[in-house]
Amino acid sequence: MRKPPDSIASIEDLRRRAHRRVPKPFMEYVENGSFAELTLHANRAELDAIRLRERVMFDVSNRKLGTTMLGEPVKMPVAIAPTGMCGAVWSNGEILSCRAAQAFGIPFSLSSNALLSLEDVAGAVDKPFWFQLYITRDRGFSEEMINRARAAGCSALILTMDLHVEGTRYRDVHNGLGIPPRLTPSNVWSIISHPAWAIAMLHSKRWSFGNYAGRVDPSHIREMAELVKDQLDPSYDQKTVEWVRKLWPRKLILKGILDPEDARLAINAGADAVLVSNHGGRQLDGAGATASILPDIVEAVGDRTEVFADSGVRSGLDVLKFLGLGARACFIGRAYLYGLGAFGEAGVTKALQLLYDELDTAMALTGITDASSVPRSVILDAGRRKRQHQS
């Protein structure tokens, strides 16, 4: 395992390294937002615009970053978000990322659309992880997947609600990562010119969506991609969540909630937590940045449930901002994928350590000693920001 050099100081440094090692089509798959990428950029712009209240008149020698997410102890209020095709960034990346997260002490979420299957990951790690489910047209298949997640010992199910249909990502279309996938001369060249990545990929357990392997021969990548796309289901709703709730006895998180009323419906349908997320700007382009929407959702359901947030986190300072806006914890997508793409498992560990150290520093300089009770006042002008968003 190659240790990241000491000169890596930020998630941005990991991002640059990942671009050097991973072929362009796969890095663009990670970086992409949908359509004109307005929401992708808004996520960052909104977090960047938030100013933190520095407080200096307190003893901050003892800081506690550890907290709980749905009753599970975590070393910091961060979890790894589900990301499809994570194993295309680094061979067997799902297992490596899960190991890094578990060794660090935070939850790892496996996507339905990962390359490795639930069973591949469960057989290679020691502790339970979280599983993300897309509801499929074939409800029998969704039920099967829920049962498999149960059998694999997953302690939480993340039901993604914002993919009734898929937002178009132009860069994926250009790069041949659409349906069907195309091997264009430029992506063949890109693969050849990244030999370390290509040689490592020869050792991958799988090359296509492992969770669907029972349905289509996994070596038929085109058929597999078509199946995954065909199974997107525009009809799921609150009743479907109630149905999942009956099948899944452990913790249930509803992901992709961006509206206070939807958050109430999610809780009424039996969710244990909501994840305020715009899918990292990959679904509805023009949807609000999560940082601007989060406070209203916390106000609507924060006394009944745990509210998590994602989309745009690139530093521990961003984590503190989301905590100040009322989230109990954040999820990270690209921030961990950059570490994975740059240095594999050691890179994921590095990304997590960077976020931890940055959050620790940010807490000390804002006079906060407990990450589980960050006051709203840490956000400078919180009241004015709320009025601006309402007007």
Ligand X SMILES: Cc1cc2nc3c(=O)[nH]c(=O)nc-3n(C[C@H](O)[C@H](O)[C@H](O)COP(=O)(O)O)c2cc1C
Can residue 97 be called a binding residue for ligand X (CB under 6 A)?
no
Q: Which window, 19-27, 173-181, 331-339, 345-353, contacts ligand X (CB under 6 A)?
A: 331-339
Q: Which two tokens stand for residue 222?
A: 């085109």
Alpha-carbon distance values, 70 to 67, 104, 157, 167 (Å): 10, 18, 11, 30
Which residues have C-beta within 8 Å of that of residue 325, sequence separation ≥ 6? 50, 291, 294, 295, 298, 309, 376, 379
For ligand X, the closer CB: 279 or 385? 279
Residue from 22, 42, 74, 81 touching ligand X (CB under 6 A): that is 81
Q: Which amino acid makes up residue 384?
A: R
Can residue 107 be called a binding residue for ligand X (CB under 6 A)?
no
Can residue 30 be called a binding residue for ligand X (CB under 6 A)?
yes
Can residue 305 be called a binding residue for ligand X (CB under 6 A)?
no
Q: Which two tokens stand for residue 74?
A: 């975590």
**Does the annotation list 336 as a binding residue?**
no
**Does the annotation list 236 as a binding residue?**
no
Q: Which amino acid makes up residue 339?
A: G
**Does the annotation list 83 as a binding residue?**
yes
Which residues have C-beta within 8 Å of that of residue 322, sequence separation ≥ 6? 290, 291, 294, 309, 313, 330
**Does the annotation list 203 as a binding residue?**
no
For ligand X, the closer CB: 77 or 280? 280
Q: What residues numbered 175-214 form the site for ligand X, per CB under 6 A?
A: none
End-to-end C-alpha distance for the chain, whole angstroms: 52
DSSP secondary structure string for all residues of 207-261: SS-GGGTTTS-TT-HHHHHHHHHHTB-TT--HHHHHHHHHH--SEEEEEEE-SHH
**Does the annotation list 313 as a binding residue?**
yes
- What mask, x for binding ligand X by CB under 6 A, covers residues 310 to 329? xxxx----------------
Give me the least distance between CB of 29 and ligand X, in Å please: 6
Instruction: Tell me which residues are annotated as active site.
Output: 279
Residue from 132, 142, 175, 187 touching ligand X (CB under 6 A): that is 132
**Does the annotation list 279 as a binding residue?**
yes
Can residue 94 be called a binding residue for ligand X (CB under 6 A)?
no
Give me the least distance between CB of 153 and ligand X, in Å please: 20
User: Residues 100, 343: contact at Cβ < 8 Å?
Assistant: no
* Residues at the contact surface with ligand X, assessed by CB under 6 A: 29-30, 81-84, 111, 113, 132, 160, 255, 277, 279-280, 282, 310-313, 332-335
- What are the binding residues for FMN? 82-84, 111, 160, 255, 277, 310-314, 333-334
